[in-house]
Chains A and B, each alone.
Chain A
Amino acid sequence: AQSVAQPEDQVNVAEGNPLTVKCTYSVSGNPYLFWYVQYPNRGLQFLLKYITGDNLVKGSYGFEAEFNKSQTSFHLKKPSALVSDSALYFCAVIPYTGGFKTIFGAGTRLFVKA
């Protein structure tokens, strides 16, 4: 079965420190990969996506993600965390099978402490 795993329910980091939110996937073929962020009482907002090309993808608000095909991972990173980055983060995958169904991970809650 195709799936997306976010192994950490919660990540805690101090403001100014680098952060990593992990994501691994299990799909056939070459998928399209996404990260979304959800702030309290809001819908999901698109952060970045990997389609093809460079393994390091840059997105909104200073976030970036590293695609690793051999490890089937797509970890979200930021060099210096802000308190305002505290939110729920979702990794998502669209398997390239000709459709557009998106498979979402369960989400990782990020807490950035001042």
Chain B
Amino acid sequence: DVKVTQSSRYLVKRTGEKVFLECVQDMDHENMFWYRQDPGLGLRLIYFSYDVKMKEKGDIPEGYSVSREKKERFSLILESASTNQTSMYLCASSPTPYRKGSNQPQHFGDGTRLSIL
């Protein structure tokens, strides 16, 4: 069965810290995504990657960066954590190569609830 694993379910960090959120998928999917979920705002795309070492900004990339050194792993980095980055972070993956209209659903991890104090 398809599985997307996020390394932490709950995380508490302090302002100014550099924070790493890790995501691993076991489906050999080309595409991986990072979203944040806030009440009333739905899911907002932070970054996505369509291949190893390739990344593109989503709707809210400010204050974040990503790394994809291996196909199965996609990391989200908060360069200097701030309280407004307290949120639920969701990782997802999907098949289908870039530049083709994709009708495949995304597969999500269970999320990391991040609190910045």
Give the residue of B43, B58, B96 whose beta carbon is less than 8 angstroms from that of A100: B96
**B70 interface residue per 8 A CB criterion:** no
Contact string, A33-70, partner B, CB cutoff 8 A, digits 1/0? 01010000111111001010000000000000000000
Q: Across the interface, which residues of A come within 8 angstroms of B90, CB to CB?
A: 43-44
**A106 interface residue per 8 A CB criterion:** yes
**A90 interface residue per 8 A CB criterion:** yes
Residue among B45, B90, B98, B104 facing the most chain A CB atoms (10 A cut-off): B104
Q: Across the interface, which residues of A come within 8 angstroms of B31, CB to CB?
A: 100
Is A100 a contact partner of B42 (Cβ separation < 8 A)?
no
Q: Across the interface, which residues of B come within 8 angstroms of A9, CB to CB?
A: 40
Distance (whole angstroms) from the CB of A58 to the closest CB of chain B: 15
Question: Can you offer 14 A-B residue contacts whose CB atoms are under 8 A?
Answer: A32-B103, A41-B9, A41-B111, A42-B110, A43-B90, A43-B92, A43-B108, A43-B111, A44-B90, A44-B92, A49-B103, A99-B98, A100-B101, A107-B42
Q: CB within 8 Å of A: which of B57-81?
A: 58
Hey, which bits of chain A sit against chain B, CB under 8 A? 9, 32, 34, 36, 41-46, 49, 51, 90, 94, 96-102, 104-107
Distance (whole angstroms) from the CB of A88 to the closest CB of chain B: 10
Distance (whole angstroms) from the CB of A54 to the closest CB of chain B: 15
Number of A-B contacts (CB under 8 A): 66
Interface residues on chain B, number (Cβ under 8 Å): 29
Is B42 a contact partner of A104 (Cβ separation < 8 A)?
yes
Residue among A51, A97, A105, A107 facing the most chain B CB atoms (10 A cut-off): A107
Is B105 a contact partner of A104 (Cβ separation < 8 A)?
no
Distance (whole angstroms) from the CB of A55 to the closest CB of chain B: 16
Bound Cα distance A99, B110 (Å): 25
Is B108 a contact partner of A45 (Cβ separation < 8 A)?
yes
Instruction: Using CB atoms, name the residue of chain A closest to B96.
Output: A100
Bound Cα distance A51, B102 (Å): 10
Bound Cα distance A99, B102 (Å): 7
Bound Cα distance A105, B104 (Å): 18
Distance (whole angstroms) from the CB of B55 to the closest CB of chain A: 13
Is A43 a contact partner of B100 (Cβ separation < 8 A)?
no
